[in-house]
Chains A and B, each alone.
Chain A
Amino acid sequence: MSYLDHYKKLIEAEFKSNKNFNFMRAVTPGADYFIENGFPLKKKGNERWKYLDLRNVTSSNFTKSIYEERISNDFDSVLEKLAPCGINIVEDEILIVGDNKNHLSGRNFVDSEGIGASSPSKTIIGEIADPEEDGFIALNAAVADITSFSINENFSQKALNIVFAGQSQSDRLSTERMCIKIHANTEVTINEIHFDSDFNTLNIPVLEIYLDKDSKLIHNKVILGSEKDMNFNFTRVFQEEGSYYKNTSFCHSPSLGSNDIKVIMAGQGSECDLGGIYFTDNKTQFNTHVTVDHLAPNCKSNQFYKGVLSDESKAVFSGKIFVERNAQKTYATQKDLNLLMSKGAEIDTKPSLEIYADDVECSHGATAGHVDESSLYYMMSRGIEKEIATQMLVRGFVDEIIDSISDDKIRKFALNQTELILPNLSFK
């Protein structure tokens, strides 16, 4: 366990830098857990990561980038990356993570809790994302760069774009943590965009989101990966009464990574819609882990995920609906559909239900297969080349998810990305 020594030092150094009391209180359990358990590499009893080969996370000693490095990843270059999304500085709210953290402060929709590590919210940090749930979350907690703010009803109804720019040096560790509170009766769209990096980097972003009564959050997530970076992405959401949460993810797999979402439905009558598409290619491995905890009655949740797998890649879907004894009148669905495009690709899907209440309606479904032969035949018999026909069918398969992205700019961006990804997929 030599890699642990490295992280021990990293954590100690982090603790020595002047952090305030609240911060320490929030990060200590994560530090303790990580030093004891490390990354979740164990085989036995490791349900979440059992299908992934995580050894690469210990391949080098990742260190956190220094402030100067992050600054060098300047605003303009990020804007350049954003241009294809149609997101620009004039029309849109942009929060670049790991860089100009404070440029949001002073906006009238952000509450006084402020932004930046100096004033983390006492109520949220570490409360929604349990550091002892997973080694990655624990490491994030231990050495987190925390951005914490809340959004009130003065929000202009436009989207807030949170951009993770991707790191520009090898062997760098990024442990961003965003703690976002949505005030009661507030409706917000948040676009979270992770750009890929051409360097061997380890990114462990954690989002903690608290939805107050009758609030509504549309959360669009784009994860772009390269064959070099690793991205273990965690989203933890806590829903109060009558709140609505929608998460739509568009993921092009990094070399190794995950999109890990957990929604805790604690308030009566809350609702959530989780959906997404994951593309895996080359030798990448990607885990989509979705958990919905129904703790209160009369809640509704949907999960709808699709995967397109090619080359020798591996995708894992692990969905769970948990219904507590009290959560009567729960309505929950879960669906995971996969297209296996080439020999050598592998899908491991595990849509599970754990139900302790009787007056519920829960269902799940999963499929895996190739594109429909008869559709392919139909198109080919009308003169469309096999490859093009296959691409069109995949496009149609994917569109169902992309269409559900409600933010116009992100939807277009996702479509463009799909156009870029499709021709490169090998259909053999």
Chain B
Amino acid sequence: MVSDNNSISRKTKLEDKDYKWGFTTDVETEVAPKGLNEEIVKMISKKKSEPKWLLDWRLKAYNHWLSQDEKEGEPEWAMVDYPPIDYQDIHYYAAPNSSDSPKSLDEVDPEMLEAFEKLGIPLEERAQLAGVAVDAVFDSVSVATTYEKQLKELGIIFCPLSEAIKNHPDLVKKYLGSVVPYSDNYFANLNSAVFSEGSFIYVPPGVRCPIELMTYFRINTADTGQFERTLIVADKDSYVSYLEGCTAPIRKNSQLHAAVVELVALENAEIKYSTLQNWYPGTKEGVGGVYNFVTKRGKCLGKGSKISWTQVETGSAITWKYPSVILQGDNSVGEFYSVALTNNRQQADTGTKMIHIGKNTRSNVVAKGISAGEGNNTYRGQIKVLPSAENAQNFTQCDSLLIGDKCGAHTVPYIEVKNPSAKLEHEASTSKVSDDQLFYLMQRGLNEEEAHHMIITGWSKEVFKELPFEFAVEAGQLLKVSLEGAVG
């Protein structure tokens, strides 16, 4: 039935590139015992000196998770394959040993600073030169915060979530769980019960945040699942751009990462959220690597608001991530730009959801998937137009590139329209890098690998241009490193 086609397939060889960011920092860490039960949830809450309402919320989430775990278990619809996760074999809390948060860079553990150096993010330098305020999350407790003063003058709150819970309880209480409720999905439930750190941003009415805000997440303690929760609220007529970058050291066991990000944009506000994810993808045989099961969702609550997601995903053994926008306010806009790369045994099932509720809402989706080695890359998206969404518009484009004959590229878009005035367009294509283009470049003296890089970079430009400048450079670099030795 199936013919032999050695002559047809163009031989492409994929080799493992070394994970450049693989190292472990030796910092004393306070770790909760393995396993998950009500006591652990209470302990995390106590460690954080949280108010009662939050503990109650956590416990509700935990109980919901338990019942869901019994009933249905993990979601199975994604095109990813992994051994069952033992949720009782994970540390749910780990904190660097210093009990008091450092107040300035001098107080920061030098080893931690060195770790950031190795990542190519010299904290002070980059912060000063590039004008980026860094709220670095090293495991679960925030390490250093810069530019806080400048932001304070504008009334912008940018701090660890735990601090916000203490200092701005009303804001947190109002918006936490308003976009991703604790009962949302299996992994978001888990996060709601045990989240330990994350960032909180509030931009007051009429304020345009003058700098790109940035948080660096790192998973550092062996077998620690990290459960951050980020909440960003942009009040009327405000603007904020947030960058998130991730790398993690080499680990033998797979690490679970179940984060939740919630964005709320009020009237005419705009939030730009950029992610560069380069976590440990496991060995080329598919051993280890991070399980990145993340729930990211924004709500365009006010009229004329805008939320824009940009992501470059090159790491993790498994990526399960669908940054979404609920377009509730009239005339609101949602955007999603993504480049996802899978090499070796990596698996990515990623995409977006655009839920059109308000009138004249618009959304734009550009998703690029690159599959190499034995990687599998799935775009899964949903565009939903509810009956109330008069004149809603969506344009979706998803393109896939295949490098090598052992990888897979899949596209699963769901388009659901309940309003006749809506206009939706979806287009997608899958192909390999064209021989003509390669030939053209190689004829001009580039070798095959360089030619591939040039074509792939050009192909990804549409997404890269949405990234803030510093990130765009790093993203191009990352793509190059990730594909090193993939062609030949």
Question: Which residues 389-435 of B have a CB within 8 angstroms of A?
Answer: 400, 402-432
Once A325-B405, A329-B8, A359-B9 are accepted as A-B contacts, the answer to whether A340 and B427 lie under 8 Å apart by CB is no
Verify A350–B415 contact, CB threshold 8 A: yes
In the complex, A345 has a CB within 8 A of chain B:
yes
Stretch from A58-66, A141-149, A283-291, A364-372 forming part of the interface with B: A364-372
- 22 pairs across A/B with beta carbons < 8 Å? A266-B1, A298-B8, A324-B2, A328-B5, A328-B405, A340-B420, A340-B422, A343-B387, A345-B418, A350-B412, A350-B414, A352-B410, A353-B409, A358-B9, A358-B432, A359-B10, A362-B430, A363-B427, A363-B428, A366-B426, A368-B385, A368-B417
Total chain B interface residues with beta-carbon distance under 8 A: 46
In the complex, A356 has a CB within 8 A of chain B:
yes
Chain B residues closer than 8 Å to A298, beta-carbon distance: 8
B interface vs A, CB < 8 Å? 1-5, 8-10, 12, 72, 76-77, 385, 387, 400, 402-432
Report the Cα distance A147→B141, complex, angstroms.
72
Of all chain B residues, which has the CB nearest A361?
A: B431
Verify A326–B420 contact, CB threshold 8 A: no
Q: In whole Å, how far is B259's beta carbon from the nearest beta carbon of chain A?
A: 26
Chain A residues closer than 8 Å to B387, beta-carbon distance: 343-344
Chain B residues closer than 8 Å to A45, beta-carbon distance: 76-77
Of all chain B residues, which has the CB nearest A365?
A: B427
Chain B residues closer than 8 Å to A351, beta-carbon distance: 411, 413, 426, 428
Verify A346–B417 contact, CB threshold 8 A: yes
Give me the 10 closest cross-chain CB pairs, A-B, nearest first.
A340-B420, A358-B402, A363-B429, A353-B411, A328-B8, A365-B427, A369-B423, A366-B426, A362-B430, A368-B424
Verify B426–A367 contact, CB threshold 8 A: yes
Of all chain B residues, which has the CB nearest A359?
A: B432
In the complex, A258 has a CB within 8 A of chain B:
no
In the complex, A354 has a CB within 8 A of chain B:
yes
Verify B402–A364 contact, CB threshold 8 A: no
Verify B425–A365 contact, CB threshold 8 A: yes
Cross-chain contact of B411 among A268, A347, A364, A367 (Cβ < 8 A): A364
Chain A residues closer than 8 Å to B9, beta-carbon distance: 328, 357-359
Report the Cα distance A45→B76, complex, angstroms.
8
Question: Which residues 283-315 of A have a CB within 8 angstroms of B?
Answer: 295-298
In the complex, A139 has a CB within 8 A of chain B:
no
Verify B415–A368 contact, CB threshold 8 A: yes
Once A325-B405, A350-B412, A365-B425 are accepted as A-B contacts, the answer to whether A355 and B72 lie under 8 Å apart by CB is no
Q: In whole Å, how far is B347's beta carbon from the nearest beta carbon of chain A?
A: 13
Cross-chain contact of B428 among A295, A357, A365 (Cβ < 8 A): A365
In the complex, A349 has a CB within 8 A of chain B:
yes
Report the Cα distance A136→B236, complex, angstroms.
54
Cross-chain contact of A355 among B402, B422, B426 (Cβ < 8 A): B402
Q: In whole Å, how far is A275's beta carbon from the nearest beta carbon of chain B?
A: 18
In the complex, A342 has a CB within 8 A of chain B:
yes
Verify A358–B403 contact, CB threshold 8 A: yes
Verify B415–A348 contact, CB threshold 8 A: yes
Once A352-B412, A354-B408 are accepted as A-B contacts, the answer to whether A360 and B3 lie under 8 Å apart by CB is no
Report the Cα distance A364→B431, complex, angstroms.
12
A interface vs B, CB < 8 Å? 44-45, 51, 266, 268, 295-298, 324-326, 328-329, 338, 340-370
Once A342-B420, A358-B432 are accepted as A-B contacts, the answer to whether A295 and B1 lie under 8 Å apart by CB is yes
Chain B residues closer than 8 Å to A352, beta-carbon distance: 410-413
Chain B residues closer than 8 Å to A362, beta-carbon distance: 429-431
Report the Cα distance A357→B425, complex, angstroms.
26
Of all chain B residues, which has the CB nearest A353?
A: B411
Verify B425–A367 contact, CB threshold 8 A: yes
Q: In whole Å, how far is A276's beta carbon from the nearest beta carbon of chain B?
A: 18
Report the Cα distance A328→B2, complex, angstroms.
11
Verify B422–A368 contact, CB threshold 8 A: yes
Report the Cα distance A298→B432, complex, angstroms.
15
Verify B420–A343 contact, CB threshold 8 A: yes
Of all chain B residues, which has the CB nearest A356?
A: B408
Chain A residues closer than 8 Å to B428, beta-carbon distance: 351, 353, 363-365
The CB with the most chain A CB atoms within 10 A, among B4, B387, B410, B430, is that of B430
Chain B residues closer than 8 Å to A348, beta-carbon distance: 414-417
Report the Cα distance A328→B402, complex, angstroms.
12
Report the Cα distance A18→B118, complex, angstroms.
79
Report the Cα distance A266→B1, complex, angstroms.
6
Chain B residues closer than 8 Å to A340, beta-carbon distance: 417, 419-420, 422
Report the Cα distance A298→B2, complex, angstroms.
12
Cross-chain contact of A366 among B404, B406, B413, B429 (Cβ < 8 A): B413
Chain A residues closer than 8 Å to B406, beta-carbon distance: 325
Q: In whole Å, how far is A299's beta carbon from the nearest beta carbon of chain B?
A: 11
Chain A residues closer than 8 Å to B425, beta-carbon distance: 365-367
Once A268-B3, A355-B400 are accepted as A-B contacts, the answer to whether A369 and B422 lie under 8 Å apart by CB is yes
Of all chain B residues, which has the CB nearest A363?
A: B429
Q: In whole Å, how far is B418's beta carbon from the nearest beta carbon of chain A?
A: 5
Of all chain B residues, which has the CB nearest A343?
A: B420
Report the Cα distance A369→B418, complex, angstroms.
10
Chain B residues closer than 8 Å to A369, beta-carbon distance: 420, 422-424
Of all chain B residues, which has the CB nearest A370?
A: B420
Once A44-B72, A340-B422, A362-B431 are accepted as A-B contacts, the answer to whether A349 and B415 lie under 8 Å apart by CB is yes
Cross-chain contact of B419 among A329, A343, A354 (Cβ < 8 A): A343
Chain A residues closer than 8 Å to B415, beta-carbon distance: 347-350, 366, 368
Report the Cα distance A266→B368, complex, angstroms.
30
Report the Cα distance A78→B400, complex, angstroms.
51
Report the Cα distance A359→B5, complex, angstroms.
11
Once A356-B408, A358-B404 are accepted as A-B contacts, the answer to whether A297 and B3 lie under 8 Å apart by CB is yes
Verify B5–A370 contact, CB threshold 8 A: no
Chain B residues closer than 8 Å to A361, beta-carbon distance: 429-431
Report the Cα distance A340→B409, complex, angstroms.
31
Chain A residues closer than 8 Å to B423, beta-carbon distance: 367-370
Q: In whole Å, how far is A308's beta carbon from the nearest beta carbon of chain B?
A: 11
Of all chain B residues, which has the CB nearest A351?
A: B413
Verify A297–B8 contact, CB threshold 8 A: yes
Report the Cα distance A266→B2, complex, angstroms.
7
Q: In whole Å, how far is B106's beta carbon from the nearest beta carbon of chain A?
A: 53
Report the Cα distance A246→B12, complex, angstroms.
35
Verify B429–A326 contact, CB threshold 8 A: no
Of all chain A residues, which has the CB nearest B404?
A: A358
Q: In whole Å, how far is A285's beta carbon from the nearest beta carbon of chain B?
A: 14
Q: In whole Å, how far is A366's beta carbon from the nearest beta carbon of chain B?
A: 4
